[in-house]
Structure 1
Amino acid sequence: MKFTLGWLKSHLETDATLDEIVLKLTELGLEVEDVRDPGAELAPFTIAHVIEAKQHPDADRLRVCTVDTGSGTVQVVCGAPNARTGMKGVFAASGLTIPGTGLLLKPSKIRGVESNGMLVSEREMGMSDEHDGIIELADDAPVGQPFAAYAGLDDPVIDVAITPNRQDALGVHGIARDLAAAGLGRLKPVEATPIPGRYQSPVSVRHELAPGQADVSPLFVGRHVRGVKNGPSPKWLQDRLRAIGLRPISALVDITNFVTFDLGRPLHVFDADRLSGGIHVRLGRAGERFLALNGEEYAVDGTMCVIADDSGALGLGGIIGGESTGCTEGTVNVFIESALFDPIRTAMTGRKLGIESDARYRFERGVDPAFARPGMEVATRLVMELCGGEPSELVISGAEPDWQRRVTLRPERLAALTGIAMSESEMVAILGKLGFTVAADGGALLVDVPSWRQDVSIEADLIEDLARVRGYDAIPAAPLPRLSVVARPALSLAQRRVRIARRALAARGLMEAVTWSFLPRAQAALFGGGGDDLLLANPISSDLDCMRPSLLPNLLTAAGRNADRGFADTALFEIAADYQGDRPEDQRRVAAGMRRGREGERHWAEAARAVDAFDAQADALAVLEAAGAPVGNLRIVADAPDWYHPGRSGRIMLGPKTCLGQFGEIHPGVLEALDVKGPAVGFEVFLDQIPVPKAKGKTRRPPLRVSDFQPVERDFAFLVDRDVASGDLVRAAAGADKALIEDVRVFDLYQGDRMPDGKKSLAIAVRLAPKDRTLTDAEIDAVGQKIVDAVAKATGATLRG
Structure 2
Amino acid sequence: MKLTLSWLKDHLETSASLEEVVETLTRIGLEVEHLHDPAAQLKDFRIAHVIDAKPHPNADRLRVCMVDTGEGAPVQVVCGAPNARTGLKTVFSAPGTYIPAKKITLGKGVIRGVESLGMLCSAAELELSNDHDGIIELPEDAPIGAVYAQWAGLDDPVIEINLTPNRSDAAGIYGIARDLAAAGLGTLKTPAVETIKGGFAMPQRVTLDFTEDDKHLAPLFALRLVRGVKNGPSPAWLQDRLRAIGLRPINSLVDITNYLTFDRARPLHVFDAKKVAGDLVVRRARAGEELLALDGKTYKLDADMVVIADDKGPESLAGVMGGEHSGCSDDTTDVLIETALWDPANIAHTGRKLGVSTDARYRFERGVDPAFALPGLELATKLVLEFCGGEASDVAICGSAETATRQLRFPWSETKRLTGLDVSKDESTAILTRLGFTVEAAGEDALVDVPSWRPDIEGKADLVEEIARIAGFDTIAAAPLPRNAGVTEPVLTLLQKRMRAARRALAARGLVEAVTWSFVSKEQAQAFGGGDDNRLALANPIAAELSDMRPSLLPGLVTAAGRNAARGFPDVALFEVGQIFLGEDEKGQKIAATGLRRGFALPAGAGRHWSGKERAVGVFDVKADALALLQTLGVATGGLQIVAGGPSWLHPGRSATLQFGPKAVIGHFGELHPRVLQALDVEGPIAAFEIILDALPAPKAKPTKAKAKLELSDLQPVSRDFAFLLDRDQPAGDLIRAVQGADRALITDVSVFDIYEGQGVPEGKKSVGVAVRLQPRDKTLTDVEIEALAHKIVTEAGKKTGAQLRG
TM-score (norm 2): 0.64
- What is aligned with 2:49? 49
- What is aligned with 1:320? 321
Measure how far apart 1:446 and its partner are: 0.6
- What is aligned with 1:175? 176
Measure how far apart 1:425 and its partner are: 1.9
Inter-partner Cα distance in structure 2 for 1:557 and 1:157: 58
SS at match of 1:246: coil
SS at match of 2:371: coil
Are residues 1:571 and 2:568 paired? no
- Deviation per CA, 1:292-319, whole angstroms, max 9, x where unpaired? 3333343333333334333333343222
Name the CA shift for 1:232/1:130 in 2 (closer, same or farther; >3 Å): farther
Equivalences for residues 305-704 of structure 1 within 5 A: 305-400=306-401, 402=403, 404-484=405-485, 488-489=489-490, 499-500=500-501, 502-503=503-504, 505-506=506-507, 510-512=511-513, 560=564, 568-572=570-574, 608=616
Inter-partner Cα distance in structure 1 for 2:303 and 2:565: 45
SS at match of 1:469: helix
- Deviation per CA, 1:473-496, whole angstroms, max 9, x where unpaired? 322333433434998216689985
Contact between 1:153 and 1:239, CA under 8 Å: does it hold in 2? no
Contact between 2:10 and 2:190, CA under 8 Å: does it hold in 1? no
Name the CA shift for 1:341/1:63 in 2 (closer, same or farther; >3 Å): farther
Measure how far apart 1:326 and its partner are: 2.5
SS at match of 1:183: coil
Contact between 2:174 and 2:263, CA under 8 Å: does it hold in 1? yes
Contact between 1:222 and 1:336, CA under 8 Å: does it hold in 2? yes
Are residues 1:251 and 2:248 paired? no
Name the CA shift for 1:428/1:398 in 2 (closer, same or farther; >3 Å): same
Name the CA shift for 1:343/1:89 in 2 (closer, same or farther; >3 Å): same
Give the letter for the 1:5 counterpart: L
Name the CA shift for 1:514/1:486 in 2 (closer, same or farther; >3 Å): closer
- What is aligned with 1:646? none
Name the CA shift for 1:559/1:412 in 2 (closer, same or farther; >3 Å): farther
Give the letter for the 2:570 counterpart: A
Query: Could you list the runs of 5+ residues in structure 2 that have no partner in the other structure?
Result: 517-539, 544-555, 579-590, 635-671, 695-699, 706-807
Inter-partner Cα distance in structure 2 for 1:218 and 1:680: 75
Inter-partner Cα distance in structure 1 for 2:35 and 2:565: 46
- Deviation per CA, 1:454-488, whole angstroms, max 9, x where unpaired? 11111011111111111123223334334349982
- Deviation per CA, 1:19-72, whole angstroms, max 9, x where unpaired? 222222222112223333222221222223344556778988766655433234
Contact between 1:559 and 1:570, CA under 8 Å: does it hold in 2? no
Moved more, 233-242 or 130-139: 130-139
Measure how far apart 1:130 and its partner are: 4.5
Measure how far apart 1:8 and its partner are: 1.4
- Deviation per CA, 1:695-744, whole angstroms, max 9, x where unpaired? xxxx968999xxxxxxxxxxxxxxxxxxxxxxxxxxxxxxxxxxxxxxxx
Name the CA shift for 1:436/1:58 in 2 (closer, same or farther; >3 Å): same
- What is aligned with 1:32? 32
SS at match of 2:322: coil
- What is aligned with 2:2? 2
Contact between 1:224 and 1:391, CA under 8 Å: does it hold in 2? yes
Name the CA shift for 1:45/1:503 in 2 (closer, same or farther; >3 Å): closer
Measure how far apart 1:449 and its partner are: 0.4
SS at match of 1:196: coil
- What is aligned with 1:721? none
Give the letter for the 2:439 counterpart: V
- Deviation per CA, 1:617-650, whole angstroms, max 9, x where unpaired? x99x99xx99xxxxxxxxxxxxxxxxxxxxxxxx
Inter-partner Cα distance in structure 2 for 1:94 and 1:561: 62
Moved more, 308-317 or 260-269: 308-317
- What is aligned with 1:218? 219
Name the CA shift for 1:440/1:118 in 2 (closer, same or farther; >3 Å): same
Contact between 1:218 and 1:401, CA under 8 Å: does it hold in 2? no
Inter-partner Cα distance in structure 1 for 2:152 and 2:122: 14
- What is aligned with 1:146? 147
Inter-partner Cα distance in structure 2 for 1:449 and 1:558: 68
Contact between 2:53 and 2:85, CA under 8 Å: does it hold in 1? yes
Name the CA shift for 1:367/1:559 in 2 (closer, same or farther; >3 Å): farther
Inter-partner Cα distance in structure 1 for 2:577 and 2:243: 54
Inter-partner Cα distance in structure 2 for 1:574 and 1:242: 60
- What is aligned with 1:729? none
Give the letter for the 2:374 counterpart: R
Are residues 1:13 and 2:30 paired? no
- Deviation per CA, 1:138-174, whole angstroms, max 9, x where unpaired? 3322122111111111122222222221111111111
Name the CA shift for 1:283/1:703 in 2 (closer, same or farther; >3 Å): farther
TM-score (norm 1): 0.65
Query: Could you list the runs of 5+ residues in structure 1 that have no partner in the other structure?
Result: 516-526, 531-551, 577-588, 627-663, 691-698, 705-801
Inter-partner Cα distance in structure 1 for 2:496 and 2:209: 59
Are residues 1:268 and 2:269 paired? yes
Measure how far apart 1:11 and its partner are: 0.8
Name the CA shift for 1:132/1:278 in 2 (closer, same or farther; >3 Å): farther
Inter-partner Cα distance in structure 2 for 1:262 and 1:316: 23
Contact between 2:561 and 2:598, CA under 8 Å: does it hold in 1? no
Inter-partner Cα distance in structure 2 for 1:677 and 1:256: 74
SS at match of 2:267: coil
Superposition RMSD in Å: 5.4
Name the CA shift for 1:395/1:418 in 2 (closer, same or farther; >3 Å): same
Inter-partner Cα distance in structure 2 for 1:397 and 1:37: 45
Inter-partner Cα distance in structure 1 for 2:493 and 2:147: 70
Contact between 1:599 and 1:610, CA under 8 Å: does it hold in 2? no
Contact between 1:5 and 1:18, CA under 8 Å: does it hold in 2? yes
Give the letter for the 2:22 counterpart: V
Inter-partner Cα distance in structure 2 for 1:135 and 1:557: 69
SS at match of 1:394: strand
SS at match of 1:568: coil
- What is aligned with 1:166? 167
Inter-partner Cα distance in structure 1 for 2:163 and 2:329: 33
Are residues 1:184 and 2:185 paired? yes
Measure how far apart 1:239 and its partner are: 2.3
Identity of aligned residues (%): 55
How many pairs align? 626
Moved more, 160-169 or 212-221: 212-221
Give the letter for the 1:73 counterpart: P
Give the letter for the 2:418 counterpart: L
Contact between 2:2 and 2:159, CA under 8 Å: does it hold in 1? yes
SS at match of 1:377: helix
Measure how far apart 1:266 and its partner are: 1.8
- What is aligned with 2:89? 88
Measure how far apart 1:573 and its partner are: 5.9
SS at match of 1:215: helix
Name the CA shift for 1:703/1:75 in 2 (closer, same or farther; >3 Å): closer
Contact between 1:203 and 1:272, CA under 8 Å: does it hold in 2? no
Give the letter for the 1:455 counterpart: D
Name the CA shift for 1:98/1:479 in 2 (closer, same or farther; >3 Å): closer
Name the CA shift for 1:221/1:133 in 2 (closer, same or farther; >3 Å): farther
